[in-house]
């Protein structure tokens, strides 16, 4: 190569390097504004949400839908130029069967009448005989009442009739409302089984009463895997009223099957950092969903929101200093095996995990972020909050422990964790039901969601000062 040309080539490559550098503006407020506004103007995430929910549908662990979603997310992230790794995970493989309930006898029942109950098996439920079982129903409203009536439980179907507190949910306390309701779904059937119940039912944990059942995981012991189902709110109330009149008998048929563990994968897509590529900021949602609906809010919205972080930065030709790692977690709903596998394979690298974001509270309008950082780190987020304030998403709330489904292991190991603080007042209307479908997600809210996720991920990936492990003295 002639000397002059060589010089030109060197010059050109240094100009390219300089322009690549210019495309890494760090946490310059103007860059954060561009990220926010690019996300607010894009329906890329909404289109990916349609791909996942309309083309694939439900994605329960071990299902064909789950496998298809793994391929879809991996292909999409490869198209964006991310480095994709599929991390193998063994997941539970539970398959729903027939599920029917009928109130066959009660005081005052006219001859020839029985009443159908709307119900759905809980994940992990055992099975009745194929022809079902007949038993008397005992209705309780608390664990204390169950214990007080222990002598009545053997041979019976126990119904936990505990109302979801929509009043709390309407006022920003959907999380605690869900926690106090779902403890009966999670632990009630196991307690009833230990006391000799032949089956357990729970009132659906949700706030919109259109006679639909809300599924979810229940923790039964392997040696006492009784049939367990959620009944609609209306049917739980009916059963409660009938039981108050006198003995109530039910015919219950549930035929789910528990297969051997299946092969699955965490989808891990890295958008490499420029000068600190070994340092990781996770942005994530969970790939699996319950089987009744198409898991739009729970949690396709979280996955596409995380994927759209990379799409947004690609549109701007922005490269973060640290690596932004998009993860679509396997098996959050009925095992969190994906999160556990990641924790195990990264246990020697946790120090390089600077922060982790998971979106798993639906795509309601975002108000800001919940974060488990040390108190001394809160002030570092002021520039990010200033950029999010015009879209009403500047409420950054420090908590000791977020305890999200997939980040809790990383969080316990000291990785500062983040979760969008969103409007969840209607989230539990649809959560884990047949009605969690694409049409329930608001396009504008999803754009805001991406703006929050992308600007926060970017900010964390470029911070000068480390935010420190959350467990450091405050
Ligand atoms: Zn979820």
String of DSSP letters for 324-355:
EEEEEES-TTTT-HHHHHHHHHTTTSGGGEEE
For position 298, what pLDDT does the model report?
98
Residue 290 φ/ψ, nearest 5 degrees: -70, 165
Return d(Cα 309, Cα 305) in angstroms, integer. Answer: 7
Report the DSSP beta bridge partners of residue 282: 325, 356
Tokens of 203: 């009132």
Give ∠ CA 392-397-402 in degrees, rounded to 5: 125
Q: Name the residues around ion ligand 1, CB cutoff 5 A.
A: 298-299, 360
Strand order from edge to edge, sheet including 83-95: 83-95, 257-271, 322-329, 276-286, 353-358, 417-422, 366-372, 395-398
Q: What is the whole-number distance in angstroms between the Cα of residue 138 and the centre of ligand 1?
A: 31
What is the 8-class DSSP label of residue 473? -
Q: How far is the CA of 125 from the centre of ligand 1 (A)?
A: 19
Only one residue has tokens 């100009």, namely 15
C-alpha 29 – ligand 1 centre gap (Å): 32
* Fold that domain 97-255 belongs to in CATH: Glucose Oxidase; domain 1 (3.50.30)
Cα 125 from Cα 185, distance rounded (Å): 11
Measure 471 CA to ligand 1 centroid, in angstroms.
26
Catalytic residue among 66, 99, 279, 332: 332
CATH of 25-94+260-462, one of 3.40.50.720, 3.40.50.1100, 3.40.630.10, 3.40.30.10: 3.40.630.10
Q: Where are the domains of the chain?
A: 25-94+260-462, 97-255
Q: How does DSSP assign 261-312, residue by residue?
A: EEEEEEEEEEE--SSEEEEEEEEEEES---SSS--IIIIIHHHHHHHHHHHH
* DSSP 8-class letter at 432: T
pLDDT at 102: 98
Ligand 1 centre from 302 Cα, in Å?
Answer: 8
Same fold, 25-94+260-462 and 97-255: no
Q: How many whole angstroms from 216 Cα to the centroid of ligand 1?
A: 10
β-strands 322-329, 276-286 pairing? parallel
Kindly state the tokens that stand for 248. Answer: 């109530």
Neighbours of 379 (CB within 10 A): 7
Pure H helices in 153-299: 166-170, 174-194, 233-245
Token output for 278: 């070994």
Bridge partners (DSSP) of residue 86 are 267
Pairing mode, strands 322-329 and 119-121: unpaired
Judge contact between 247 and 136, C-beta under 8 A: yes
Give every strand in the sheet of 119-121, ordered side by side: 115-117, 99-106, 248-254, 133-140, 157-160, 199-203, 228-231, 119-121
- Non-local CB neighbours of 216 within 8 Å, separated by 6+ positions: 122, 123, 182, 185, 186, 205, 230, 290, 333, 432
User: What are the mean pLDDT values of the chain's consecutive 10-residue runs (474 residues total)?
Assistant: 44 42 76 98 98 98 98 98 98 98 98 98 98 98 98 98 97 96 98 98 96 98 96 98 98 98 98 96 98 98 99 97 98 97 97 96 98 92 98 96 94 95 98 98 98 98 82 46
Tell me how far CA of residue 21 lies from CA of 30, 321, 327, 367, in angstroms: 16, 10, 27, 33
351 assigned to active site = no
Ligand 1: centre distance to CA 299 (Å): 5
d(CA 96, CA 267): 25
């Amino acid at each position: 190569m002639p000397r002059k040309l060589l010089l030109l080539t060197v010059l050109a490559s240094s100009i390219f390097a300089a322009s690549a550098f210019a495309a890494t503006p760090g946490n310059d407020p103007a860059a954060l504004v561009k990220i926010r506004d690019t996300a607010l103007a894009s329906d890329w995430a909404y289109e990916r949400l349609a791909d996942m929910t309309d083309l694939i549908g439900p994605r329960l662990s071990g299902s064909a839908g789950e496998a298809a979603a793994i391929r879809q997310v991996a292909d999409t992230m490869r198209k964006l130029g991310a480095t994709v790794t599929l991390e193998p995970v063994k997941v539970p493989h539970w398959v729903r069967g027939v599920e029917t309930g009928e109130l066959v006898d009660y005081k005052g029942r006219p001859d020839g009448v029985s009443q159908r109950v709307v119900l759905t098996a809980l994940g992990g439920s055992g099975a009745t005989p194929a022809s079902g079982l007949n038993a008397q129903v005992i209705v309780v409203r608390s664990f204390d009442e169950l214990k007080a009536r222990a002598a009545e439980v053997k041979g019976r179907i126990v119904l936990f009739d505990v109302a979801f507190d929509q009043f709390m949910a309407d006022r920003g306390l959907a999380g605690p409302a869900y926690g106090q309701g779902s403890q009966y779904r999670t632990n009630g059937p196991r307690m009833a089984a230990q006391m000799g119940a032949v089956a357990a039912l729970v009132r659906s944990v949700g706030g919109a009463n259109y006679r639909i059942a809300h599924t979810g995981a229940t923790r039964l012991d392997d040696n006492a895997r009784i049939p367990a189902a959620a009944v609609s709110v209306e049917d739980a109330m009916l059963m409660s009223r009938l039981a108050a009149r006198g003995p109530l008998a039910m015919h219950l048929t549930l035929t789910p099957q528990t297969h051997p563990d299946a092969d699955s994968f965490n989808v891990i897509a890295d958008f490499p950092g420029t000068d600190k590529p070994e340092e990781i900021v996770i942005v994530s949602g969970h790939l699996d969903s319950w089987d009744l609906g198409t898991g739009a809010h729970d949690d396709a919205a979280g996955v596409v929101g995380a994927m759209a972080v990379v799409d947004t930065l690609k549109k701007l030709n922005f490269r973060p200093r640290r690596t932004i790692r998009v993860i679509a977690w396997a098996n959050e709903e009925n095992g969190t095996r994906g999160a556990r596998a990641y924790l195990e394979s990264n246990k020697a690298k946790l120090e390089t995990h600077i922060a982790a974001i998971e979106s798993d509270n639906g795509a309601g309008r975002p108000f800001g972020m919940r974060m488990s950082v040390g108190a001394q780190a809160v002030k570092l987020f002021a520039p990010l909050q200033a950029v999010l304030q015009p879209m009403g998403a500047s409420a950054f709330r420090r908590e000791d422990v977020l305890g999200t489904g997939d980040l809790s292991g990383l969080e316990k190991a000291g990785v500062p964790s983040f979760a969008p603080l969103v409007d969840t007042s209607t989230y539990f209307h649809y959560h884990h039901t047949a009605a969690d479908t694409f049409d329930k997600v608001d396009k504008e809210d999803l754009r805001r969601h991406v703006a929050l996720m992308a600007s926060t991920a970017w900010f964390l990936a470029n911070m000068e000062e480390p935010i420190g492990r959350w467990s450091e003295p405050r």
